Amino acid sequence: MTAYNAPTRDMHFVMNDLGLLPAIQKLPGCEDTNTELVDAVLEEASKLAGSVVAPINTTGDLEGAALENGVVRTAEGFSDAYQQFVDGGWNSIPFDPDFGGQGLPWLVGIAAEEMWISANTAWSLCPMLTMGAVDLLSEHGTPDQKATYLDKLISGEWTGTMNLTEPQAGSDVGALRTRAEPEGNHYRIKGQKIFITWGEHDMTDNIVHMVLARTPDAPTGSKGISLFIVPKFLVNEDGSLGQRNDLRCVSLEHKLGIKASPTCVMSYGDDGGAIGYLVGEENRGLNCMFTMMNNARINVGLSGLSIAERAYQQAVAYARDRVQGSGPDGEPLTIIRHPDVRRMLLTMKSSIEAMRALVYDTATILDQSRREQDPTAQKAAQGRLDLLTPVVKAWCTDLGVEIASMGVQVHGGIGYMEETGAVQHLRDSRIAPIYEGTNGIQAQDLVARKVLRDGGAAAKDYIDEVRMLCQALADAGGDTAASLNTHLSAAADALTETTDWLLEDGSADVSRAFAAATPYLKLFGTVAGGAMMARSTLAAQAALDGNTGDPDFYTAKLMSARFYADNILPQAAGLIAPIRDGYHAVLGAAEDSF
């Protein structure tokens, strides 16, 4: 496996040339988040990612995690890398300074997190979940809960988990059976949870589990779910660790990928009941947990980008080195000169650039939704964030798998061999479309909650902005801008047509809308990626016209955008028929015909 080099120049381009960092600096508390500070953060993060976290990716995959007498032993080097991560304050980037956070924007935190995931996806899942737990408690915890847990979680001294899934209840969280019986100022938790990422490990002294359970008189279904803090070790009043709680990891799952990330079966209450503390109100647990889940959905979408970046770097390195065939004069050719290999590499490169811009733009909107003081601006930011979250999660993770697979294809037969490392990226990427609500669920969320619920208002506002970008491309001139204008306009027409169809036929029969949901989300993501490539084109062309910066870098940006315009955006029109007509077979097929 090749070394990982963080793409800090591309990150800088998205943050600065696309205007994200200037937009962030207008928000309260972000005035001092300047280019010099952000570049310094990215430079130091890239050192840790490249020299400490990345080198244990392959070895961790080979060694995996092991359960020994109830204790999960992580792969060699994982604990040391995590301690360096904590010592550097990397877990605290976007969080409240009152609890030890650095108070920087989520935009900066997302950029650093891209590096951790690219460097070592299995390792990165531990801090990713901890950040979600911090977000949840920051929003819904009591003052005592915040005082007890937040500073340790923000520093990374303790880690956090999310406990939803049970053997009989996968995505149907309303079917869970874990019980929570009140006892004084706490509850006794009894039940089993599966697929708990980093549910047990040896990297920290304590693990703070966020557990969904039912109280005795709770109504059935999702309306009867409550949320509880269930720490591995109870915490004394002085903040020190007390007795071991009644919970344990009873087994580790054997997985396709992310083998060094312990995926645990957790048992609560084998000896009387694990002590848990209610977060929020009884029967309102899903509302609280969605704070953590929405945080995780953006981060999982980021993982699609991150692993695609790692696969691309390896594919490019191999294509530059591998000699196959000869030119007209008999000179040996490296495969990067073969047209089809170039097509694959440009597919990877342009898709990654579109994804990075979309994820970072969404992180900027997240910051705006939390920091804007004007109620109208805050509401608009929240609406746009709600619209884009399922797109980021599903479109980017689907592309992550596709690009990791393409990376194997660039290698040819040797890519199918484990020793190259290319196949590990594909194996590791495959969980992301399943995490945090499968991508089919994300598509249904986009259609039902984000389009039909508001009569398409948020989607149409977004399409209007895309059309404004098309006009800017027309005004800018140049071959890349002209091609993007043509193909992005056509893609926006396809999105408009299918959105209108959803509002008419889909709203009349929601099963038709759900049958169309996945291709609709793919169409939306393709257009959103095109919009970000339009912004990249305008920025790159302006830099070239103004003779500022590295002309080779900006020319390469235009070439990526041109490839996206000519090769990816035209696929949008092909999704109209599956969205509009696909339900006939989907809903009409008899069950016994499968």
Is it the case that residue 171 has pLDDT exceeding 80? no
Are 160 and 207 in contact by the 8 Å Cβ rule? The answer is yes
- Give the Cα separation of 383 and 381 in Å (integer): 5
Joined tokens for residue 34: 């300047």
Is the pLDDT confidence value at 536 over 80?
Answer: yes
Parallel, antiparallel, or unpaired: how do β-strands 179-183 and 159-163 relate?
unpaired
Nearest residue to 92 (alpha-carbon basis) of 152, 139, 47, 155: 155
* CA 555/CA 161 separation, integer angstroms: 44
State the average pLDDT over residues 467-486: 97
Spell 281-290 as b/e; 16+ CB within 10 A means b: ebbbbbebbe
Cβ count near 175 (within 10 Å): 13
Q: What mean pLDDT is predicted for residues 240-254?
A: 97
Per-residue pLDDT of 59-80, as tens digits, reads 999 999 999 988 999 999 999 9
Which pLDDT band holds residue 456 (cuts at 50, 70, 90)? very high
Give the up-direction half-sphere exposure of residue 155: CA atoms within 13 A in the CB hemisphere: 14
Instruction: Give the mean pLDDT of the chain.
Output: 96
Angle at 465 between CA 459 and CA 470, to 5 degrees: 125
Residue 317 contacts residue 5 (beta carbons within 8 Å): no
Chain centre distance of CA 498? 26
The domain ranges of the chain are: 8-155, 159-283, 439-587
Task: Kindly report the length of the chain.
Answer: 594
- The angle at the Cα of 515, spanning 512 to 516, to the nearest 5 degrees, equals 90
Query: Which letter does DSSP use for residue 186 in this model?
Result: E
Say if residue 222's pLDDT is above 80.
yes
Q: What are the tens digits of pLDDT across the range 292-303? A: 888 889 999 999
Q: Which amino acid is at 403?
A: I
DSSP at 177: -
CA 126, 44, 366: angle at the middle one, nearest 5? 60
Q: Kindly state the tokens that stand for 9.
A: 């120049």
**Rounded-to-integer distance, Cα 102 and Cα 91, Å:** 9
Model confidence pLDDT, tens digit, residues 381-439 = 999 999 999 999 999 999 999 999 999 999 999 999 999 999 999 999 999 999 989 99
Which of these, 474, 476, 484, 472, lies nearest to 561 by C-alpha position?
A: 484
- Active-site residue identified among 436, 497, 504, 591: 436
Residue 386: the pLDDT is 96
- Among this protein's residues, is 331 annotated catalytic? no
Q: DSSP 3-state assignment of 146?
A: helix
Residue type, 151: D
d(CA 260, CA 62): 8
Q: What was the pLDDT predicted at 325? A: 87
- Per-position DSSP letters for 353-396, written without gaps between them: HHHHHHHHHHHHHHHHHHH--SHHHHHHHHHHHHHHHHHHHHHH
Q: What percent of the chain has pLDDT over 70?
A: 100
Using alpha carbons, list the distances in angstroms from residue 207 to 95, 133, 150, 162, 204: 19, 11, 12, 11, 7
Q: Are strands 159-163 and 207-213 parallel, antiparallel or unpaired?
A: parallel
* DSSP-based three-state secondary structure for 61: helix
Q: Has this prediction a pTM greater than 0.85?
A: yes
Residue 173 has pLDDT above 80, yes or no: no
Residues 6+ apart with CB under 8 A from 463: 492, 495, 496, 499, 527
Inform me whether the pLDDT recorded for 529 exceeds 90.
Answer: yes
- Please state, as a whole number, how many other Cβ atoms lie within 10 Å of the Cβ of residue 239: 11
- Which tokens belong to 347? 């597919």
CATH: 1.10.3720.10, 3.40.720.10, 1.10.540.10, 3.40.140.10. Which one for 8-155?
1.10.540.10
Domain 159-283 has CATH 1.10.4190.10: no
Q: Taking residues 116-128, what's their average pLDDT? A: 98
Phi-psi region of 283 (alpha: psi -120 to 50; beta: other; left: phi over 0): left
Structure confidence by residue, pLDDT tens digits, 315-348: 999 999 999 988 888 889 999 999 999 999 999 9
Structure token pair of residue 519: 């291709």
**Tokens at 38, concatenated:** 């952000």
Q: With contact defined as beta carbons under 8 Å apart, do 199 and 209 qualify?
A: yes
Could you give the angle at the alpha carbon of 372 between the alpha carbons of 303 and 138, nearest 5°? Answer: 60
Distance (Å) of CA 250 to CA 68, 193, 412: 10, 10, 41
Q: Assess contact for 220 and 177: CB atoms under 8 A.
A: no
| pLDDT at residue 555 in the model | 98
Secondary structure element (H or E) that encloses residue 430, with its range? none
DSSP secondary structure letter of residue 184 = T
Contact between 242 and 232 under an 8 Å Cβ cutoff? The reply is no
Distance CA 21, CA 43 (A): 17
pLDDT band at residue 358 under the 50/70/90 scheme:
very high
**Got the DSSP string for 23-35?**
HHHTSTT-TT--H
Antiparallel, parallel or unpaired: β 66-68 and 71-73: antiparallel
Of 579, 437, 456, 576, the C-alpha closest to 515 is: 579
